[in-house]
Amino acid sequence: MFMHIIALGWIYVVLMMAIFESSITAGIMTFTMYCAIPLGLLWYLTRGKRSNATPSKNAAPHDIDLKSPQHDSTKTVEKMEP
């Protein structure tokens, strides 16, 4: 959440810089080079790390064979008496 506030502040600062440039082309280039590309790259890199670090709840583990029957270790084994 804190990083979103910093990103919004940075967008505001660069937008103000771009508005007060001498030409429209310079303003577009300022916004692109100082804001769109760096924040896009930062967003891409941080989202990639976050999605790899926390697997979804429905994802199957990679080390089990889904075709073989699974052993449920939570059930208790009842002994058969003769």
Q: Are 3 and 19 in contact (CB under 8 A)?
A: no
Find out whether 27 and 18 touch, Cβ atoms under 8 Å: yes
The residue extents of the domains of the chain are 2-50
Place of tokens 């506030």: 5
Q: Looking at residue 49, what is its pLDDT?
A: 63
Closest of 7, 28, 6 to residue 18, by C-alpha: 28
Q: For 3-62, how does the pLDDT look when each residue is reduced to its tens digit (9 = 90+)?
A: 889 999 999 999 999 999 999 999 999 999 999 999 999 989 988 666 555 556 666 666
- Please count the CA atoms within 13 angstroms of the CA of 79 that sit on its side-chain side: 2
Is 9 exposed, middle or buried (CB count within 10 Å of its CB: 0-12, 13-18, 19+)? exposed
